[in-house]
Amino acid sequence: MSSEFKPKLVGFLCNWCSYAGGDLAGTSRNHHDISVRAIRVMCSGRVEPSFVIKAFQEGADGVIIAGCHIPSDCHYTSGNFKALARYEIFQPLLEELGIEKERLQLHWISASEGEKYAQVMNDFAKTIRELGPLKLDKKRFCPLEKDSDVKSTKECSVIRKIQEFAACEAASSEMINLEERRNWTLESKRMEPSIFYDPNKCIRCGSCVEACKAQGVEALQMDEKEGILLDESKCVRCGQCVMNCPLGFQEKTVQLVKEWLDCKSCPYSRPIGAITENDEVNKVLAALKDPDKYVVVEMAPAVRATIGEEFGAQPGTIVTEKLYSALKQAGFDRIWDTNYSADLTIMEEGFELIDRLSNNKTLPQFTSCCPAWVKFVETYYPSLMPNLSSAKSPQQMFGAVAKTYAADKIKVDPANMYVVSVMPCTAKKYEKSRDEFKDAAHYWSKHGESGDYPDVDAVLTTRECAKLFKLLNINLMEMPDGKPDLLLGDYTGAATIFGRTGGVMTAALRTAYEVVEGKPLGDIELEALGEYNGLKTAALPVGGNEVKVAVAFGLKTARMICEDILKGGEFSKYHFIEVMTCPGGCVGGGGQIITTNVVKAMARTQGLNKDDKDQPLRKSHDNQEIKQIYSDFLEKPCSELSHHLLHTHYVERSIK
């Protein structure tokens, strides 16, 4: 190796031992290589994996970590053990990245070992000079370059190894034993058809269990040997467990590696937690390639304010028009919008509310858009099922009218139409699989065409849709603005706010008030109902009566409301109650981009509110395509045909 090569070396030195050892080497005149740029840290255990990656990213040819001797010299008891565990995890990662293991070294040097410090630094500098400059060849390590068959790869092995640092943290907190974990051979588990759990990957941190407890559901329990025990009868499939698994977080080290190695556009660069959604991407890809299938797509209100984050956009950036173009490029035959069926939902649910108010029927009326909330009522409060609006969710209304009204209009065999739904929600996978949601097939059987097929065929979470785009080399943020196809694509501002807490209530009141009073609602914003609080209440004069409404998110709050109603309390006197399971509504859904937090959820909410205000029409009953479907097909809200296609019944699922 040419003597002209001067390696860039970084050293992370423990304040109490190795840094002091370096001082001693200097004062003792021990000759040593001074090319190592020393960074003093309080403990070797404080050297985060991201520090090492950042050093290599910034041009370091080698990194050395030095700390107190094992087992008992650490001033913080176990920091050196954590450093060792991280170092051991780094070894296979460096090997896969094509980086020689010698470029990262770990040594124990006490404050009294000046000579050892000098020798270690001399040897380290010599080793790196012999290795030469650090050069990365992405094709050498990229799993997709090694395996061109994307169907055989579900998770990037490089990202998977980085996620093992979370296991190291769990081990330092005595949650697991890393050696024992490497030998686990437990069977995976599922909460069909929404949730998948890998107990061998799990770090036993209990974050998912706590998330479930926070919802007041407690469908998950921790078992030291088996990992998480899943109770399918209790689970509502909300996916908040998925959102809280640390193995699914894109923490700093993952972000740095993706930036360093230019992996952001890779479909497999998103970490997958030990508990995650059942992936339907390959199922949708197969449908898109099937010449016998006519594949149509709908996308939920909240998706347009969140999916851009996976492609570098800020939270809350509305990408509706870019989504239309991206979905078209992906190969879908028709690009439609769940916002259309959200407007349709308001017509049905709003007129149902008017009927209940006018004819002294069961009150309060509960919203029924959230499938996790619906299952919660069926499971824990079946006596309150009559309070649920019989109106289907926008997803299921869309599937029913796509395979009846739209299929007839565009002359497509409904049995060959394949409806894909892009949702912020894992519970939507459960919802589309419910036995009762085959109303399009039932409709056509009455018209002489037999068949047995669901209204909605596949559900992709926001994360899965981003993965689909990346598999097809579609960069969402570089797409030109597009438009939805006719019939089921037009929407009003009332529809887009379905994606945040208070949105369904606000949209319903805009229409119900105007239908009853014959004039527009004065304050159509109803901002108090959209605040990021778990429970909001209001009262409006409608038809000479004071209509009391409430908006809630989180099932623990929902449980409180249900208990109060059963006891004849304050909420039993309310008329209309919106409940969303996830924090902030669908903007915090279990299928959204990870990580999701309050700041991001509020930014997404602001984006949806702006989209509402930017629409030329902001009340569902003003949607021209909604007027058309009633004129051409349904006749009127809550008609007999509407009842068969757009409304449903509920099933008691009490825990025995």
- Rounded to whole angstroms, the Cα distance separating 598 from 496 reads 20
- Catalytic residue status for 586: yes
Q: Which of 251, 431, 464, 578 is catalytic?
A: 431
- Catalytic residue status for 369: yes
- Rounded to whole angstroms, the Cα distance separating 127 from 81 reads 25
Q: Which of 54, 161, 403, 428 is catalytic?
A: 428
Largest CA distance in the chain: 97
The position carrying tokens 């049995």 is 415
- Rounded to whole angstroms, the Cα distance separating 239 from 589 reads 7
Q: Which of 43, 168, 205, 369 is catalytic?
A: 369
Q: State how far the alpha carbon of 171 is from the alpha carbons of 68, 82, 176, 242, in Å.
A: 20, 8, 5, 21
- Catalytic residue status for 428: yes
- Rounded to whole angstroms, the Cα distance separating 87 from 68 reads 15
Taking CA 277 as the corner, what is the angle to CA 456 and CA 141, rounded to the nearest 5 degrees? 120
- Catalytic residue status for 436: yes
Cα torsion angle, 137, 143, 147, 151, sign: negative
- Catalytic residue status for 96: no
Q: Which of 113, 277, 298, 352 is catalytic?
A: 352
Q: Which of 251, 310, 349, 378 is catalytic?
A: 349
Dig out the tokens for 475 from the structure.
């960069």
* Residue partners of 568: CB distance under 8 A and separation at least 6: none
At how many degrees (to 10) do helices 79-97 and 49-57 cross? Answer: 40
Q: Where are the beta strands (DSSP E) in 293-385?
A: 294-299, 334-335, 365-366
The Cβ-side half-sphere exposure at 507, using a 13 Å CA radius, reads 39
- Catalytic residue status for 431: yes
- Rounded to whole angstroms, the Cα distance separating 281 from 589 reads 19
SS3 for 286-354 is HHHHCCCCEEEEEECHHHHHCHHHHHCCCCCCCCHHHHHHHHHHHCCCEECCHHHHHHHHHHHHHHHHH
Dig out the tokens for 117 from the structure.
């410090």
Within its chain, how far is the Cα of 343 from the centroid?
Answer: 25
Q: Which of 17, 238, 586, 638 is catalytic?
A: 586
Q: Which of 436, 449, 517, 570 is catalytic?
A: 436
Dig out the tokens for 32 from the structure.
């040593």
Residues with active-site annotation: 349, 352, 369, 389, 428, 431, 436, 586
